[in-house]
Structure 1
Amino acid sequence: MNSPDLFLLRQTYNEQRIMICFNGPFSKSLIEEIGKALKNYMQSENATPTAATDVFGVYIEMMQNIRHYAAAKGYSDVDAGATVIIGRDEEERYVVSAGNIVDQTDGQYLVSRIDSLGGMDKAALKALYKEQLRKPRPEGAASGAGLGLIDLARKATLPLVCSLRELDDGRAFFSLRVVI
């Protein structure tokens, strides 16, 4: 393996205002450790309690979704890995982005679901959240793209942004960006 140019990576991270970046396989304990680092970083930045709670909540929701999806699909450690970036945008808002490998049909469903949420205002998202919360879930029913996704959209200050990059093996790389 060639040694990466760490100075160039540092410059890129600073230019992109990336606070935390992780790429690779992860476990429950690693999610927790990155979460602790995120909390400490936000405290040092004097983030408002609301912003810190929302950023942490969005990070946890995204990583748990990726972890559960990969486990349900039986992906190998390499394929079950994720890329997560937490940073700031030009307007000082926090941005949480995460991506992982998905089956193409699952990714297409997620994109359409996120697109439908993007057209809703806060009141409509709240009503949808309450409606989804009241719906009975049949035992053994598959979960995903439900309450957690709606909650992400509710916490976001801008509509969720996602992309799907097709891979050669019938799968795709799904990316989601949440601005808080």
Structure 2
Amino acid sequence: MQLDLFSAFRNSADFNGVLFYYSGMLSQNVIATMGDTLKQRLESQDAGGPKSRKLFSSFIEMVQNALHYSPDAPGADGQKVGAVAVGRQGEKFYIVCGNLVLKQHLERIRTKIEPLRSMTMDEIKQAYREQLKSDHSGDTVSKGAGLGFLTLARDASEPIEYSLAEIPGSEDVAYFYLKAIV
């Protein structure tokens, strides 16, 4: 990387309140290390209490989803890859996660997230309770059949955001970005 590009990246991260950023291979060990690092970073920011717990829970939910539901990265020898950023803007924190998804699951992702964006908090909590009782037998892809998205929506202070982006030259995979504000 050229030094001027690194400087621009660093300045952009500072401007956007980025406290933590990672991009690369994902594994349970990497997630555990990221979690420990994030906890220390939050402590240095005097971020504690329920907001910190929701932020950490959302962070773990997002990176675990990236690990469990991403296809293997092309040319990465069976490894999963992803990127995650945690930042602070004023009194709120945000988590943004990006990972590969199979294109065949794009519509399924949309149908899980879109309704959450317009639900009230009471509706989200009710859907969460109903999903906990469900046996999830109709969903062969997801272990929790959308429970993770409901958890994120329940802990977020604003509607969760997402984006699905094509990868030039790829017929099978796209990039999935998810953002939650706590």
Q: Normalized against structure 2, the TM-score is what?
A: 0.88
Give the partner amino acid of 2:84: V
- Cα RMSD of the aligned pairs, angstroms, is 2.1
1:179 alignment counterpart: 181
Q: Deviations over 1:45-101 (max 9, x none)?
A: 11131111111111111111111113xx44453772101110012x43100000111
2:157 alignment counterpart: 157
Percent of pairs with identical residues: 28
Query: Measured at CA, do residues 140 and 121 of structure 1 come closer, stay the same or move farther in structure 2, by a change above 3 Å?
Result: closer
CA distance in 2, matches of 1:8, 1:141: 43
CA distance in 1, matches of 2:3, 2:153: 36
Q: Deviations over 1:8-48 (max 9, x none)?
A: 32211111111111111121111111111111111111113
Aligned residue pair count: 176
Query: Map of 1:26-175 to 2, 5 A cutoff?
Result: 26-70=26-70, 73-76=71-74, 77=76, 80-89=80-89, 91-138=90-137, 141-143=140-142, 145-167=145-167, 168-170=169-171, 171-175=173-177
CA distance in 2, matches of 1:114, 1:130: 17
CA distance in 1, matches of 2:138, 2:112: 23
The alpha-carbon deviation at position 114 of structure 1 amounts to 1.0
CA distance in 1, matches of 2:126, 2:37: 34
CA distance in 2, matches of 1:141, 1:113: 14
Show structure 1 runs of 5+ residues with no match: none
CA distance in 2, matches of 1:30, 1:58: 16
Q: Is the 8 A contact 1:66 1:82 kept in 2?
A: yes
Give the partner amino acid of 2:146: G
Query: Measured at CA, do residues 36 and 118 of structure 1 come closer, stay the same or move farther in structure 2, by a change above 3 Å?
Result: same
CA distance in 1, matches of 2:30, 2:132: 29
Q: Is the 8 A contact 2:73 2:81 kept in 1?
A: no
Show structure 2 runs of 5+ residues with no match: none
Give the partner amino acid of 2:179: R
CA distance in 2, matches of 1:149, 1:140: 14
Q: Is the 8 A contact 1:108 1:164 kept in 2?
A: no
- SS of the aligned residue for 1:169 comes to coil
Q: Normalized against structure 1, the TM-score is what?
A: 0.89
